Each structure stands twice: as structure tokens, then as C-alpha cells.
Structure 1
Amino acid sequence: MRKINRTLISKSISTLVMCSAPLFASAEVVVLKAANIITMDEKNPRAEAIAFDTNTKKITAVGSLKDVSASAPNATVKDLGTTVLMPGFIDPHNHPFLSGITTQAPAFWIAPYVGYKSWADVQAKILKEDKAAPAGVPLIFNGVDKLLQQAPTPTKDVLDKLTPSGRPVLVIDNSGHAVYFNTASIKMLGWKGGKPPANPVGGSFGRNQDGTSNGTANETAAIMAVAGPILPKAIPHLLLSGAEWYAYMASLGITATSEHTYSTGMYKGYLALASVPNSPLRMSVYHMAVDADAGVKATWPDSSMVRKNGIKLWADGTPWLGSVAQSFGYLDNERTRNAEIILGPLGEKGMNYTRLQLDELLDKYSPMGYQMAFHCNGDVGFDVVLDAYEYALNKYNLIGTDHRWRVEHLGAARADQFKRAESLGVTVSLAPFQYIYWGDLLDGTMFKPEYGAQWQRAGDSFKYNIHTTFHNDGSVSPPDTLRNIQHMVTRTTDVGTVHGANQAVTLDQALKASTINGAYQLKRDTEIGSLEVGKYADLVELSADITAINPNEITDKVKVQGTWLGGKKIDTAQFLKEIKAIDPSEHQALGEASLKGVHSH
């Protein structure tokens, strides 16, 4: 494991103070004093106080309390005591509406990492909620995982036994690539004779030998056909569910994120979330390339709160179902067989698009000036994406420009691919959760150690100037930035095992991946990501100095105490109250719009 860089500790608190103007009216400037301020500004890494203008919402001074106070002598000074301040955390790849609708009450989150370790736990939960809920009300469960929980495929026959009340039930696979449902759901859908319609393009329905539904649907088009009619009856306030995920992210210190499966049906929803006074997150959206209107310009009244960044594309599928474009196969054992893993290797057969189709998509969107973002897990997929990127970047004279095209997840990436990404100006967002929660299976059960132990090559990625970030990809994992930092520094899984210690990163690198690099990737680094004069006062309050804590104890000893957005201390309870007051009937389209992105993980 690499030795942690303690540069931030060794540097004394800087008294450098930079002000956008020498004096401000007392009603407009607030000074915050903290036990320590980690600025993530390499020119001024530590401070004692920070000042911001409540009108512009931006920082006016950073440095010692004496010098910051001198810059605004009539300012209000708030002493935060033992609190440590940092720039608000940035999760550059998430899915707030989908996550909120499928994990927050009245839906039930049954993933292994939120307490449902086994299939027995899942069965008990479904039985319990079926008994407790009002008669006939559909129930939504999200997070069943065949690998981690050793769950069977929850077909109609399995779910009928778990729902003796006869109510409709929908269970979403943790991968997001499949849904499972019972007989009552089939009746609600109105399928004549219990037989599903013809398979839609890009999706499929599971069928028994007699053509009747077996209670399964795979990939977006089929999933939407099943879940679309059920969700609105199960989730009465879809906007509030999205707001719950916003509040959850804020409770874990996040102040900026993205919607990586945006569609036009979400426009009003994100407008509503951004419009209330206590909105806790800045949002950047990436429109799904499969939408006919993906290239249409979209603007919101306050572009600092919501803006359209780019286009989202998919290279391959998910490692948890074996639908990954990679050069090596899965190990053949009871665990992988029970999970019905495609052993492969699939190579380019695991790609969602042919190279010609990728070129056509990039030809369509590149001239529009959008930032591209590719979902990709396999090493073969990464090669194809980089080939397509190189072709398009050269064709449209973008090599050497500040395009910041992205690639997401990259579980099976090779070190040489990061070097190539650097040469193209491509930035990457890694998915620590894949290693944290699945690492003990990846190494030796799913793959040979030379592949599984190196999954999520964070150490290799930081050898190159590609502005590596960490994301959580809600709802595939909780949006827990501190957990990401701890486990990428210690290279431990959730149970404390080390695999591929050479892929550990320094604490400085992990903090950058969660702050300033995230801002760069979202094209917001002139606004957020570090505490500097002229940037928004987006802050996270921590209970302790993360750089002074044993990395193995970060999640135990460092707690998020609150966040600030634009110099306003966020009240998430008030935020949810504000959203609850909005008429839910105005946002019923959110269910179908969110379901379009369930294949993103």
C-alpha cells in the first residue's frame, strides 16, 4: 500500500488573503471561522477562516482569521468551533430521480450493503411488507443481487409465494438490467392470457414454454413496459422521492452531482428541485443519446443550479450479469453458475453498439459542442471507445482543446489505456463501489486474481493527468464519499480485505477525486471544487480533520455535520417540506423518464 501523502498537514496555515473588493457592507459578508479549513487549493492549502458575500454567494477571502476579518471589518463572524471545513463533495455520476423513486419510501431498498446480506433477508422483508401494506397497493423493492445475496432469479412463481396478499410487486435487480414481478402485476398490466407483448427493440420478456410470462423483463424497453404502469400507483409523489435522494446525498456531504441518464421528461422535475430556497445540490445533466431529442438545447433559469453538459452513451453492460466487453472470461463455479453469469469472454460481442454506430452517434453530437460521456466496464470496450473518441476528436479538430470527454466506471481497464486517455484529453470517473462491495468476489471467484485483484485501477489512473474522479452511481451504491475515500486509500473491501494493494491511492489523490477533479469533470472548476476567491461558498462541515485520522478509521471518526450551498447552511428537512408542498400530479412523467436509464449501471 502506498504511503499517504501528508502534504496538507505539514504546510502551515496560510495567511494569504485574496479579496474581490477591499470592503463589503456588513449585511452582505459573513466570515466563518473553523478549527481547520482544507481548501483543496494548492496555492493556499490550509486556512483558518473564510468570507463570502451573501448576495453573490461567492467567496471573498480565505486565510487567517485576522486577515479575513480585516478584509471585511463589519462582517458577521461565525465561529464553528471544532468543525473542519472542506469544499462540498462532488459525485460526478449519479441518477437522483431513478435512485429516489426506487429506494426511498414508500419503495424499499433491499441491496446487500444496506442490510440485506442474504436471499433469506430479502424474502423476510418482502413477506413483512406485503403483510403490512394496505390491500392492493403495489410494492416496489430495489437491489436484489444474485452474486452477493446468492439469490435465485425471482420469477413470478418465486414472488407469488412471497406475496400471499395477491398485491402487485415489482423487484428491481441491483444491476438495473432486469425487473421481476408476480402474477398480480401481470394482471394489472392487462396482458391477455398472461402473455407479454412482442419483445421491444433492445429488450425482452421472460416466457414460459406456453408463452406466458415468467415474471421477468430485461433491459430498458421491456423494463419500462412493466414498471411504467406500476410505479405511479406505488409511488404517489415521484418528485418527493427524487428530493429524498437529494437530501440523502447532502447528508453525506455532497453539494454537486449529475444526472447521467437525463431525458426531457425530467426537465420540470429538476427545475422544481432547484427552485426552492433550500435546494442542496448543483446538478449537471447528460442526455441519453438514444433519445431523438438528445441534441436539443436545454436551459434552466439558474444555470448555476442546473445545466445540460453533454450526451450519455453506452459501450457495454454490467459485470454483475456478465454482459461486459472484456478480453477475459469469468471463472466457472457454483457462485457464477447460480447467478446465471455469461462466462465469456464476450470481447466486442459485449458492445451495445457497433463501431459504425458509435461513429454515427459521435458524428451527430460532436459538432454541437457537447461533452461526451461513455458508460464502459470492459477493457475491450474501453479500447473501442478510445478508438471512436480519437477518430471523432481528430475529425472535428478537438484534439488539444478543452473538450473533457469522459469515460465512466472502467472496472476492467488496463494501465496503458489511462495513458492513451491522457493523450486524447479524456477524463475518467472510476466506481470505487465495484471494488468495495464486490471486491472479495471479483478476486478469485468471478475472475482470476490477475484481473479481479486489479479491478478499479485507481492507483494506475493517477499516474496520468486525466483528472480521475470517484462516483457512486446511485442507486447501485449509497452516495458515500467518505467511504470511497477510505477504501481507495487503504485498498480494502467493505469487510477489510486487501486485494491489489498496488492500486491504493494517497489521501491527497482521493480528496481531489472527490472535490476539484469532480468539478473539472463537470466543467465547473472555475465555480466549485476548491475554496478560492470567486468560487461559490459550497462547503461540507466535518467533525474532524480527515488528514489527521488513520485512514482505516475515516468512516468511524469523521462525520458529516452539514453542508452549505452558495453560503447558505442547508436545512434538508425544510427542503423536503418545500418539495412536499408541490402538486405531485405535475410530475407523474418522472416515473417513465427515470426508467429510461435503468440500464446505465
Structure 2
Amino acid sequence: MERSLAVLSFFAAICWSLQTLADESHQTADRVILGSIYTVNEGQPWAEGIALKNGVIVYVGNESDSRRWIGEGTEVTTLKQQMVIPGFHDSHAHLLIGVATDTECDLIRLESIAEVEAQLTQCQGLSGFGNAQWIIGSGWAPYLWPKAEPNKALLDRLFPDRPVYLSSSFGHSAWVNSKAMEVLGITADTDPGADGVVVLDPQTGEPTGTLHDAAMLLVKNFLPEMTEEHRLDSIRAALAMAHELGVTAVIEPGVDADILAPLVTLADRGELKIRALTSLSTINWQPGVFDDAIFELLEQRDQWRRPNIGVDSVKIYMDGVIESYTGALLEPYEGSNHERGPRFYSQAQVNRYFSRFDAMGLQIHVHAIGDAGVRIALNGYEAAQAANGPSNNRHHVTHLQLISEEDVPRFAQYNIGATFQPLWAYYDPAAIELDIPAIGAERTHSMYPIGSVHRSGGRINGASDYFVTDMNPLLAIEVGITRQDPYTNSGTPLNASEGVDLATMIKAYTINGAYTMGLEQQQGSIEVGKRADLVILDSNLFELKPYEISDAAVVETIFAGETVFKIDAP
């Protein structure tokens, strides 16, 4: 009997030792971060430490318990005045089509026509694309020209023998020269496509060189193809930029098979270190109207699905933009008794498309700028819900420059995400030079009603619409609070009552974005079991004045536990 007890005691000791070893192994993390952790988890908003293992968050809590996860080989980071938050989600950005490379003419962020001319002069040395040596570029600011309509004369002088195609920073207009129109046979009699505009000179009746919305396809569809390696390098550069800004997830609006191909290539090579939900469209990101061919594209979507690439979303435009008078308004533009902007689809068409997309289990990602465009979209969601019942497809509307007061509560009513670009919500040059002349001071002052939608119970998503504007979430978060110029911290706020608080803006760029991607159980807040997609900031945003938020900087971006961007300590 004593021998049996001794044997049992021996085996019990062995089991206890093995369990202790297992516990010690379990309590050893790959990395432990100690300091101010803002979790965006309402049940535990702040923590003193987190532990990461195999790309997943395995502990969130106080400092002493966090230290229990430190073992041999654990990387330990002790923050000082810094702050950890979940990785930023940009819910509408043209990021994965890439950024301009040194083979393209990059006009982004130029603040005068003189600067544009100087850059175009530099672009004369580009080798160009295709046999005709096309000069291709993007980024010119529409507010530099009256009614956002640059003239071909400048391009003709600099490029008399080479065709030129330059898309605007807003993405809804293109600037071309006479050679481009000659090569493609564009004249005053050319059909501009559904709701497209070929701008004509009022004196001569000839094209001026500005194309709006669908008319851009008259050139874009015939541009020379860029090489696969060029496209891959362009996307790599875009990913590096996103990581530098703390962006770890994005909804990419308007992609077709050609745009998806390099994304899939990078994903299969293990290089796509971002979570991406792609909104499919037969016209890719180009503004305009698609037809029933969209369903053929959607039926192919499973071939592009990857762990980091979602494909159950479709992009559709309701209208153009106010700055070119193609946004759909409930009341006429200034100086007009009848002009309210084009509707890209009838309400009946929208209802049909939305009901069918919703029944397919797809997220419907809508571009709507004017208050009429927003109403048409909301009516479409209402029709889909009536036809199919409530869904969990995470539909959302983006831009939302104007929303009728009576439509504001409908976002909460139908569980439709309101995806704003908060960085637009101040009196920027576009508002002053283009919006006020187009829609008047009163309507301009009411633009981007973020606070109203939030107070009515609507879900706010943060987005940049990069490359239209800067992708930096900290700039956008500041403006969402202050409604004021973040570069000068001065000027009249754009309806200060529409500002929201810091916590709301952080949610818009984290957990709300994750929800809209259908991934809120995996990311968007700092909780045990969620992905270790994190950002370390050089300051605690809650200790800053609102106008100081954009001065903060990303110190490190972590994707699935891996550092993908880091500023080296001095």
C-alpha cells in the first residue's frame, strides 16, 4: 500500500511538473508592451500592458500581470509618454491601385497653377507609356481653376506632340491635351457616356481639355497598359505609406479583375500586410454607371479571395461631385432655377440593383455626394430590406457632403454605415473656391454632418478617399473634432456643432471600420484573442489639446505581431 502511494505521489509530482512547464510556456509571450493602452473596448477601455503571441493578443490588463508573460526571448517595450491603440482602418481609400511612381507625372498637393506648370515642365523628361509615349499622371487640385476646368492650352504648349492624360485629385475629372483628343478622335460631337461631360468652350464650341465623370473613360479605356512589375512596385510603395501612417486595414472601393491581379500576387507572396475589403466594380474606381455585366464580375469573385483580401462588396455611384456640378442635389445649384445635377441611376434601377446585391450577401458600398444622391441610396437600402428582410451585409454610404435633415436618422434606422472623410470638414480651398459658388454659403456651412448622424445613433466610419486627400488618420481625427484647418489651426470652423469627441473619432477609425469590414470579432479593438494589429503613437492623444492631435506621430505599426514600420530611436 505504501509502495502504491509512493508511486502515485511520484506520478502526481511528474504531472505537476509537466503542468508547471506548460503553464510557464503558456505565460511566455513573443512581446509585451507596458504603458498607456487605449483598447477601444467599452468593457475595459484602458490597460497598463498587453502580451502578444503568434500574431494574436493573449493578455490585456495591469502591468504586474502583464510581466508574468515575460520569458526568455520575450521582447519588452516600456512606453513613456507614448500610447498604444488598435491599427487604423480606412473605410474608403484608393490605396491598392498604388501610388504614382517616378514614371508618372505626380501633381498631388500642388497649391498654385505656377507650381503645376513647374511640375509639368519637369514631366517633359518622362519616357512615357506606349508607342505614343503617353504622359500619364494625377493629383491636380480642381479648386485652382474656375469650375474645376483647366484648359488644354497649357498642356498643348508643353506637350505639342505627345498625348497627355491627368486625372484630378478628386478623381472625377481629367485634363487632356489636343494630341490626346486627336489620337482618340474626341470632338465636340463625341458622346460623353452616361452622365459624362466633355466641357466645351462657350465661344468656339470646341473641347477645352476637361472631361468629367464618365467622359474620362473616352481616354482612360485606351491608355497603354502598365507592366506588372510597375503595378507591384506602385502597390508596395502605397503599403509602405499606409504603414507609416498606422493604417492596417482598408476598404478599397471600385476594383476589377485587372486591379485585383497584382493584389492577389502580393498576397500569395506574403507581401500584402494589410487587411483589405475590395468593393468590386466593372468600371473599377472610375466614376460613372455600370450595367448588368457587374453580375458576371461578381460571380468570379471567389478566385480572388485570400486571407487578407475580402471580395464580398460591390461599389456603385449615385452621382458625381458638387465641384463639377455633377453631384445630385434636392435643390438647384446657385444661379440656376432647374439644374440639380445628374442622377446616375433612376430610383427603380437602384432598388433593383440593391435588392439583388443584398440577396447575394454583398455589402453595397455607395458613393453619394449630394443630398439627392444620399436619399436615392437610402431609398435603395430601404427597398432591399423590404424585399429581403434585415441583413448583416454591413452596407455603407461614403462622402455624404450634404444630407437632408429628414434623412439623417435613416442611417441608424437601416443600420447603414456613414463613411465620412473628416479631413474635408473644414473651410479648405475647395469649399471656398468651388463649393460656395456652386451651392451657396448656407449649404456649404452644413456640409459633412458627422455630429448629427452620430447623435441620431448612426455608425460613423473614418476614411480618407486617398488619393483625393492625405491618408493620415490623425489629421482627419483632429478635424472631426475641431472642424477647423488642421494645418494652421485657424479660421472659421465649418459648423462647429457637427464636431464629435476624440473617443468617437478613434472608434470611427478602429472598431467601426472593422465592423464595416465584417471583422469586428477579429480586429478593431485590443482584446484577448484578437489580431495584434496595433499602432504606437508618440503621444497620448487624450492628453493633447484637440488642435495638437495632428502633430502626434506614429512611432511603430504592428501587423499580426510583426513590426511593419518603426521610427528608430535617436
Question: Residues of 1 paired with 2:438 and 2:178: CA distance?
Answer: 33
The range that moved more, 355-364 or 133-142, is 133-142
Candidates 172, 177, 182, aligned match of 1:177: 172
Contact preservation (8 Å) 2:423, 2:480: no
Q: Where do 1:82-161 residues align within 5 Å? A: 82=80, 83-98=82-97, 100-101=98-99, 103-111=100-108, 114=109, 116-130=110-124, 132-134=125-127, 137-148=133-144, 150=146, 153-161=149-157
Find the counterpart in structure 2 of residue 447 from structure 1. Answer: 439
The letter for the 1-side match of 2:425 is Y
Find the counterpart in structure 2 of residue 35 from structure 1. Answer: 35
Q: Residues 426 and 153 (structure 1 numbering): CA distance in 2 closer, same or farther, change over 3 Å?
A: closer
C-alpha displacement of 1:297? 5.2
Q: Residues 292 and 197 (structure 1 numbering): CA distance in 2 closer, same or farther, change over 3 Å?
A: farther
Q: Where do 1:10-25 residues align within 5 Å? A: 23=23, 25=25
Find the counterpart in structure 2 of residue 412 from structure 1. Answer: 402
Q: Where do 1:191-202 residues align within 5 Å? A: 191=185, 199-200=192-193
C-alpha displacement of 1:311? 1.6
Q: Residues 528 and 393 (structure 1 numbering): CA distance in 2 closer, same or farther, change over 3 Å?
A: same
C-alpha displacement of 1:471? 0.8
Question: Residues of 2 paired with 1:235 and 1:277: CA distance?
Answer: 17
Q: Residues 446 and 205 (structure 1 numbering): CA distance in 2 closer, same or farther, change over 3 Å?
A: closer
Question: Residues of 2 paired with 1:439 and 1:198: CA distance?
Answer: 31
Contact preservation (8 Å) 2:147, 2:323: no
Contact preservation (8 Å) 2:398, 2:418: yes
Question: Residues of 1 paired with 2:31 and 2:308: CA distance?
Answer: 24
Candidates 212, 236, 239, aligned match of 2:232: 239
The letter for the 1-side match of 2:448 is Q
Larger RCO (CA under 8 A, 6+ residues apart): 1
Find the counterpart in structure 1 of residue 5 from structure 2. Answer: none
Find the counterpart in structure 2 of residue 79 from structure 1. Answer: 77
C-alpha displacement of 1:42? 1.3
Candidates 378, 393, 411, aligned match of 2:385: 393
C-alpha displacement of 1:379? 1.5
The letter for the 2-side match of 1:58 is V
Find the counterpart in structure 2 of residue 358 from structure 1. Answer: 350
Find the counterpart in structure 2 of residue 65 from structure 1. Answer: 63
Q: Residues 46 and 276 (structure 1 numbering): CA distance in 2 closer, same or farther, change over 3 Å?
A: farther
Find the counterpart in structure 1 of residue 285 from structure 2. Answer: none
Contact preservation (8 Å) 1:439, 1:453: no
Contact preservation (8 Å) 2:147, 2:434: no
Q: Secondary structure at the match of 2:383?
A: helix
Question: Residues of 2 paired with 1:273 and 1:559: CA distance?
Answer: 28
Find the counterpart in structure 1 of residue 533 from structure 2. Answer: 538
Find the counterpart in structure 2 of residue 337 from structure 1. Answer: none
TM-score normalised to structure 1 length = 0.79
Q: Residues 152 and 471 (structure 1 numbering): CA distance in 2 closer, same or farther, change over 3 Å?
A: closer
Question: Residues of 2 paired with 1:403 and 1:158: CA distance?
Answer: 47
Q: Secondary structure at the match of 1:452?
A: helix
Contact preservation (8 Å) 2:474, 2:549: yes
Contact preservation (8 Å) 2:478, 2:547: yes
Q: Residues 572 and 461 (structure 1 numbering): CA distance in 2 closer, same or farther, change over 3 Å?
A: same
The letter for the 2-side match of 1:95 is H
The range that moved more, 541-550 or 45-54, is 45-54
Contact preservation (8 Å) 1:30, 1:77: yes
The letter for the 2-side match of 1:299 is D
Q: Residues 152 and 461 (structure 1 numbering): CA distance in 2 closer, same or farther, change over 3 Å?
A: closer
Instruction: Give the length in aligned residue pairs.
Output: 527
Q: Residues 545 and 440 (structure 1 numbering): CA distance in 2 closer, same or farther, change over 3 Å?
A: farther
In the alignment, structure 1 residue 266 sits paired with structure 2 residue 259: yes
Question: Residues of 1 paired with 2:359 and 2:221: CA distance?
Answer: 34
Question: Residues of 2 paired with 1:380 and 1:508: CA distance?
Answer: 31
C-alpha displacement of 1:509? 0.8
Q: Residues 304 and 531 (structure 1 numbering): CA distance in 2 closer, same or farther, change over 3 Å?
A: farther
Find the counterpart in structure 1 of residue 49 from structure 2. Answer: 49
Question: Residues of 1 paired with 2:298 and 2:226: CA distance?
Answer: 32
Candidates 451, 454, 460, aligned match of 1:459: 451
Q: Residues 317 and 225 (structure 1 numbering): CA distance in 2 closer, same or farther, change over 3 Å?
A: closer
The letter for the 2-side match of 1:282 is R
Find the counterpart in structure 2 of residue 15 from structure 1. Answer: none
Find the counterpart in structure 1 of residue 323 from structure 2. Answer: 320
C-alpha displacement of 1:572? 9.4
C-alpha displacement of 1:346? 4.2
Q: Residues 180 and 323 (structure 1 numbering): CA distance in 2 closer, same or farther, change over 3 Å?
A: same
Contact preservation (8 Å) 2:482, 2:499: yes
Question: Residues of 2 paired with 1:184 and 1:443: CA distance?
Answer: 32
Q: Secondary structure at the match of 2:408?
A: helix
Contact preservation (8 Å) 1:537, 1:565: yes
C-alpha displacement of 1:514? 1.0
Find the counterpart in structure 2 of residue 504 from structure 1. Answer: 499
C-alpha displacement of 1:81? 3.6
C-alpha displacement of 1:195? 9.0
Question: Residues of 2 paired with 1:219 and 1:145: CA distance?
Answer: 16
Q: Residues 430 and 246 (structure 1 numbering): CA distance in 2 closer, same or farther, change over 3 Å?
A: same
Question: Residues of 1 paired with 2:538 and 2:102: CA distance?
Answer: 29
Q: Secondary structure at the match of 1:350?
A: coil
Identity of aligned residues (%): 23
Contact preservation (8 Å) 2:88, 2:247: yes
C-alpha displacement of 1:151? 8.2
Q: Residues 104 and 500 (structure 1 numbering): CA distance in 2 closer, same or farther, change over 3 Å?
A: farther
TM-score normalised to structure 2 length = 0.83
Q: Residues 443 and 200 (structure 1 numbering): CA distance in 2 closer, same or farther, change over 3 Å?
A: closer
The range that moved more, 491-500 or 271-280, is 271-280
Contact preservation (8 Å) 1:217, 1:226: no
Find the counterpart in structure 2 of residue 513 from structure 1. Answer: 508
Find the counterpart in structure 2 of residue 340 from structure 1. Answer: none
Contact preservation (8 Å) 2:194, 2:344: no
In the alignment, structure 1 residue 472 sits paired with structure 2 residue 464: yes
Q: Secondary structure at the match of 1:447?
A: helix
Question: Residues of 1 paired with 2:228 and 2:116: CA distance?
Answer: 20
In the alignment, structure 1 residue 280 sits paired with structure 2 residue 273: yes
Find the counterpart in structure 2 of residue 434 from structure 1. Answer: 424
Contact preservation (8 Å) 1:138, 1:233: no
Radius of gyration: which is bigger? 2
Q: Secondary structure at the match of 2:254?
A: strand
Q: Secondary structure at the match of 2:535?
A: strand
Candidates 300, 311, 314, aligned match of 2:314: 311
Q: Secondary structure at the match of 2:330?
A: coil
The letter for the 1-side match of 2:560 is G
Question: Residues of 2 paired with 1:197 and 1:25: CA distance?
Answer: 71
C-alpha displacement of 1:549? 0.9
Candidates 476, 488, 502, aligned match of 2:480: 488
Q: Aligned-pair RMSD on alpha carbons?
A: 3.2
Question: Residues of 1 paired with 2:304 and 2:269: CA distance?
Answer: 13
Contact preservation (8 Å) 1:155, 1:214: yes
Contact preservation (8 Å) 1:50, 1:61: yes
The range that moved more, 371-380 or 482-491, is 371-380
The letter for the 2-side match of 1:407 is V
CA deviations over 1:156-190 (Å, ceiling 9, x no partner): 333111336x3332221233222222244346x46
C-alpha displacement of 1:499? 2.2
Candidates 370, 373, 378, aligned match of 1:381: 373
Question: Residues of 1 paired with 2:216 and 2:444: CA distance?
Answer: 30
Unpaired runs of 5+ in structure 1?
1-21, 333-342, 574-601
The letter for the 2-side match of 1:328 is E
Contact preservation (8 Å) 1:351, 1:381: yes
C-alpha displacement of 1:531? 0.6
Q: Residues 512 and 345 (structure 1 numbering): CA distance in 2 closer, same or farther, change over 3 Å?
A: farther
